[in-house]
Amino acid sequence: MVLRKSGLAAALTLVISPSAFSSDLQINGFMNVTAGVLSNEDISADGYDDGVSFDNGTLVGLQMTQQVNDSTSATMQLISRGSDSYETEAAWAYITYTASDSTDIRMGRLRTPFFYYSDFLEVGYAYNWITPPSIVYRLGALSSLSGVDLTQRFTMGSVDASVQLYGGRFSSDVELQGDEYAIELRRAMGIVLAMSMGDFGARASYHQTNITMDIDPGGTRALDQLAAGAALAGVGDEFIPDEDKSSFYQASVNYDNGSTSVIAEWTALKHDSAVLNDDSAYMISAAQRMGDITGHLTYAATSDNLKSGMVGTVQENAELKESAIILGARFDYDAATAFKIDIQYNDEETVAGADGETGVLYTLGMSLVF
The residues near 70 (Cβ < 8 Å, ≥ 6 apart) are none
Q: Mean per-residue pLDDT for 291-316?
A: 98
Residue-wise pLDDT tens digits, 245-261: 999 999 999 999 999 99
Residue 197 domain flag: yes
CA distance 274 to 240: 8
Predicted confidence band at 3 (pLDDT cuts at 50, 70, 90)? Answer: low
Residue 311 lies inside a defined structural domain of this protein? yes
The pLDDT of residue 21 is 41
Tens digit of each residue's pLDDT (9 = 90 or more) over 90-125: 999 999 999 999 999 999 999 999 999 999 999 999
Distances (CA, A) of 301 to 32, 220, 281: 25, 30, 6
17 pLDDT more than 50: no
Q: Quote the pLDDT of residue 1.
A: 45
What distance in Å separates the CA atoms of residue 205 and residue 179, rounded to the nearest whole number?
Answer: 29
Q: What is the pLDDT of residues 121-174, one digit of tens each?
A: 999 999 999 999 999 999 988 999 999 999 999 999 999 999 999 999 999 999
Q: Within a domain: residue 101?
A: yes
Average of per-residue pLDDT across 169-186 = 94
Please report whether residue 71 resides in a domain: no
In sequence order, which residues have a C-beta less than 8 Å from that of residue 185 and are 6 or more positions away? Answer: 142, 145, 169, 170, 171, 209, 210, 211
Q: What is the 3-state secondary structure (H, E, C) of 191-255?
A: EEEEEEECCEEEEEEEEEEEEEECCCCCCCCHHHHHHHHHHHCCCHHHHCCEEEEEEEEEEEEEE
Q: What are 31's strand-pairing partners?
A: 60, 368
CATH number at residue 138: 2.40.160.10
Query: Which strand (E) or helix (H) includes residue 310?
Result: helix 309-315
Q: Which pLDDT value is given to residue 16?
A: 39
What residue type is assigned to position 124 of the chain? G
Q: What is the pLDDT of residues 328-355, one digit of tens each?
A: 999 999 999 999 999 999 999 999 999 9
Contact yes or no for 206/190 (Cβ under 8 A): yes
Rounded to the nearest integer, the mean pLDDT of the chain is 94
Residues 279 and 89: their CA atoms lie apart, in Å, by 30
pLDDT of residue 43: 87
Contact between residue 306 and residue 319 where contact means Cβ atoms under 8 Å apart: yes
What DSSP state is assigned to residue 127? B
- The pLDDT confidence band at residue 9, using thresholds 50, 70 and 90, is low
Mean pLDDT of 263-274: 98
Share of the chain above pLDDT 90, in %: 89
Percent of the chain topping pLDDT 70:
94
77 falls within a domain = no
The long-range contacts involving 70-76, CB below 8 angstroms and separated by at least 24 positions, are 71/97, 71/98, 71/99, 72/96, 72/97, 72/98, 73/98, 75/15
Is residue 309, in this structure, part of any structural domain at all?
yes
pLDDT of residue 141: 87
State the total domains in the chain: 1
Q: Tell me the HSE value of 348 on the side-chain side, using a 13 A CA sphere.
A: 19
**Tens of pLDDT along 199-243?**
999 999 999 999 999 999 999 999 999 999 999 999 999 999 999
Residue 318's domain comprises 96-369
Residue 330 falls inside a structural domain: yes
Q: Is residue 129 part of a domain?
A: yes
Beta bridge partners of 151: 104, 164
**CA atoms of 250 and 266, how far apart (whole Å):** 6
DSSP category for residue 53: B
DSSP secondary structure string, 58-92?
A: -EEEEEEEEE-SSSEEEEEEEEEEGGGTT-EEEEE
Q: Which residue has the higher pLDDT, 24 or 243?
A: 243
